[in-house]
Each structure stands twice: as C-alpha cells, then as structure tokens.
Structure 1
Amino acid sequence: MKNTIKLLSVLFVVILVAVTSLIVQVNKHIQSNNAVKEKSDQAKAEELAEKMKPKIEEHLHKRDIHNFIKTITFEKDVTINPMGDITIDGYVNDEPEKYGFSASLQYRAKKIGSMSYDPELSDRFIDWEEYKDEPEVKENYLKSFTKEERDQYLRDIGEKE
C-alpha cells in the first residue's frame, strides 16, 4: 500500500511538472507571436509614414502662404498611439526647437488625420490679409516681440528684406 502511494505521488509530481512545462512553452510561443505581430504593425506604420511624407510636405507648403519653409526634415521615429493613429514628427528650416510639427496619420484611411505645429511655426502661417481692416491686431501682435524677433518675423513672412 505504501509503495502504491509513493508511486502515485511520484506520478502526480511528474504530471504536474510536465503540465507546468507545457504551459510555460505555450506562453513563450504566444509572446513570441505577439512580438512578431508588433514588429509587423511597426513596419506597416513606418511604410505608411514614408508614403505619406510627400502629402505632409504638400500640406505644410499649402499652409505656408509666406513661403517661409525652405527645408522639411522628418524624425526617424514613427509611433503608433493607443488609438491606432501613426504619429510622425519633424521640423522645418533646420530648427527643431522652434519650428516643429507633428502629423497624425490614419492607417485605414491612408490620410493625414491632423497636424499640429509649434507656436513659432504656426505664427508663420498667419494670413494678415484677413486683418487688413484691423491693422491694430497685427501691430499688437508684433509688439509682443523684441526688435530682433520682430525683424526676423517680418523677414520670415516676406515683409522685410
């Protein structure tokens, strides 16, 4: 009887170890497949970002009514946000700290969902013709700058040589 209990105990331990080992292997396989899928999603995001760069450039030039933009540079990192949109960042005129932008791309629609701009870049897109009947708006805006900043801004929008 004691031998039977010992045999059953040993058999139970062997089965328990085998089942645990099998569960660990299955989990590793699932994690491995998920890692491959994530890489695949990232690769798809990077591919879409590459295809959309000309459209982003076109969008920026369309907003650039003063022909301020001389160069457009894209960051290497492409991210996928929790909502599934793809984000690509960049900057213009070799000044990432001043003239940055971010484009949110919609993967399924293959289009630009939204664009955001650093404040200084956004300022270069202001159409002052809309305020021609209110010149004080532009004057008050320009007063917020130092003389050097004002001169640079006027050069950037083509109003000063």
Structure 2
Amino acid sequence: MKSLKIFLFVFIIILIIMSAVLIIQHNRDQPDDAGGNNSMQQKEKSDQERAEEYAKKMKPKIEEDLRESDIHGFIKKITFKNQVTINPMGHIIIRGYINDEPERFSFEALLRYESGKVDSMSYDPDLSDRFIDWEEYKDEPEVKENYLKSFTKEEREQYLRDIGEKE
C-alpha cells in the first residue's frame, strides 16, 4: 500500500510537470501581437503599392500642370523623387524638383486616388517666383521694380534670365 501511494504521488507530480511544460511551450509558440496586426500591415503595404502605381500613372499630368504654370519657359527638366507617401487625409504625395536644383526649385503634388487630376501643387518660394505673371502688373510697374530690388545684383540677373527677360 505504501508503494502504491508513492507511485501515485510520483505519477501526479510527473503529470503536473508535463502539463506545465506543455502550457509554457504553447505560450512560447503564440505570437505577441494581436491577430489583426499582420493583416493590417499587408493592407498598408497594398495601399502603398497602389499609391505608387497611381503616382506613376499621374506623373505626366503633374508635368503638364507644371508646364502650364511655367509661363516663361523656365523649366528644362522635371525630376521626381522615388518616395511616394500617403498623408493622414488619404492624399498621395509626390515630390520632385526642377532643373536639377532640389534645394531651390522643389515641388509637391497632392493627388486624390483615382480622381484623374492633380488636387493641389505647392512650390518652393524660388520656384513660385519663376511662375509670376508680370503682365498682370503692367499698369503697376513699380510692383515688379520693388520686387527686383529685393534681390542682390546676381540674383536679379539670374531671375531675369530665368523668366526670359535677359540673355
């Protein structure tokens, strides 16, 4: 009888140890994150891929809009950066620059997915200055004169060359 009690005691201890080992093993094999996290990362990736495809399709439209704004024929080359982003509002953002000068002549285009048009454009101040239509101020020549006086001599000459008023 005594050996039966010892046998049962050892048997129960072995069962408890085996159960604990199985529970620990099972918990170790479980991922730390919630199940929806993996599908969310895949969805974000597919949104990014869709945005990049749409951006590629819309680059000619962005170039067209830039050339329409370029009334002085300043743009020689348009370069798009490789990064396409999606802002919190869902707009697709494409960045680029003009004439190999990313520090001075960069732009940003906002697209709405599948709208087929450029939602809005923003330009660096130097680039925006090259798009000013001085014909609107022909009755107020002092506006242009005052604007040009804000530049150094070299900047003024470069600006006038850029807008086609000086060779």
Please report how far the alpha carbon of residue 30 of structure 1 lies from its aligned counterpart in structure 2 after TM superposition: 2.3
Residue 45 in 1 paired to residue 82 in 2?
Answer: no
Aligned residue in 1 for 2:42:
36
Bigger radius of gyration = 2
Aligned residue in 1 for 2:149:
143
Gaps of 5+ in 2: 1-8
Letter in 2 for 1:45: A
Aligned residue in 2 for 1:70:
76
Aligned residue in 1 for 2:60:
54
Q: Check conservation: 1:100, 1:121, Cα contact below 8 A.
A: yes
SS at match of 1:159: coil
> Normalising by the residue count of structure 2, what TM-score does the alignment of the two structures yield?
0.82
After TM superposition, the structure 1 = structure 2 runs for residues 1-161 of structure 1, keeping only pairs within 5 Å, are 24=31, 27=33, 29-161=35-167
> Normalising by the residue count of structure 1, what TM-score does the alignment of the two structures yield?
0.85
Report the Cα distance in structure 1 between the residues aligned to 2:89 and 2:21, rounded to whole angstroms.
Answer: 46
Q: Check conservation: 2:54, 2:114, Cα contact below 8 A.
A: no
Identity %: 63
Cα RMSD of the aligned pairs, angstroms, is 2.4
Letter in 2 for 1:115: M
Gaps of 5+ in 1: none
Query: How many residues are treated as equivalent by the alignment?
Result: 160
Letter in 2 for 1:93: N
Report the Cα distance in structure 2 between the residues aligned to 1:27 and 1:148, rounded to whole angstroms.
Answer: 60
